Homo-oligomer: A and B are copies of this chain.
Amino acid sequence: MEPVSTEQVAAFRRFNRYFTRRIGVLNDHYLGQDRPLGEARLLFEISENPAGVSLRELRSRLGLDAGYLSRMAKALQAQGMVRLRTHPDDNRLRMIELTPAGRVEVKEQNRRADTLASDVLRGLTAPQRQQLTDAMATARRLLRLAAITVELVDGHAPDARACLDAYAADLDARFPEGFDKADLVRPGQVSGDAGAFFVAYEEGRPVGCGALRRLEPGVGEIRHVWVHPDARRLGLARRLLAAIEHESLRRGWNVVRLDTHAVLTEARAMYRACGYQEIPAYSDHVYGQHWFEKRLAP
């Protein structure tokens, strides 16, 4: 991997410093106006899960100490902002959710945060506002992408299966004829010498996958490249593809093939953009309607 240019590091830090000093401080100030910042943040995080969320989950998401969280939850409960109950299936877990009063409070928090944002934007002309929000969207997209890691996992791993289930549900909704899970690779086909399975993780959660399996000597097949709806348009599919191609090459499978369904037009465009060429049918997968091949440069 190429080294990072010092000019880029400097630009990154300039932004970082400016933003945290200007916006970050204001933000915390607004947020922590009528209660401690920690409580305000907790309240906000709870509001992100309207159906309630376990303390366990919050603890890992916010990186809080168990005792600390327990006390904050109690304080919020005493203020009538949240309701605590035990998890129906597991009595060790405590579920926390907003009360109507809590929802009002969060609404007020949001109103304040909106005010902060509008106040900043109001200082700009309409095209400048658009430019700013576009730049922010680009920066967020790339920051997210930078934080996502692609890892080789065993085909039997729960995360692998979870991704495949989500993938199957996705296709079932998109294909006019539906999707039959029988078409999924079996764990053994993408483990060990037979193949490989990659899972992309964002902040610990699996958000994408891709499989490689041995098709014939020197030829690998790419299957089940999928990205979670929340992680689309980041450029993650290309990253998965690159990881799979790299693995294929490592195994000496210098050619990779794949097939895809007619309705997945964006996928076809991506494969073409990544150097894949459409070829005649090489298999009779139920859902294969376009076939691609790429010769990998060592």
Contacts and interface: CB of A to CB of B under 8 A. Distances in A.
Interface of A: 1-2, 4-5, 7-9, 11-16, 18-20, 22-24, 27, 113-114, 117-118, 120-124, 126, 128-133, 135-140, 142-149, 235
Given A9-B121, A136-B11, A146-B121, A27 B16 contact: yes
Contacts of A137: 11, 14-15
B14 A140 contact: yes
5 contacts: A4-B129, A19-B19, A19-B139, A24-B24, A120-B147
B16 A23 contact: yes
A120 B146 contact: yes
Given A12-B136, A16-B27, A135-B142, 19 more contacts: A4-B118, A4-B121, A4-B122, A8-B121, A8-B129, A9-B117, A12-B117, A12-B120, A14-B140, A15-B136, A15-B137, A18-B140, A20-B24, A120-B147, A124-B146, A131-B138, A132-B142, A135-B138, A136-B139
Nearest 9 interchain pairs by C-beta: A123-B146, A15-B136, A135-B138, A12-B117, A11-B133, A132-B142, A135-B139, A4-B118, A135-B135
A234 B53 CA distance: 45
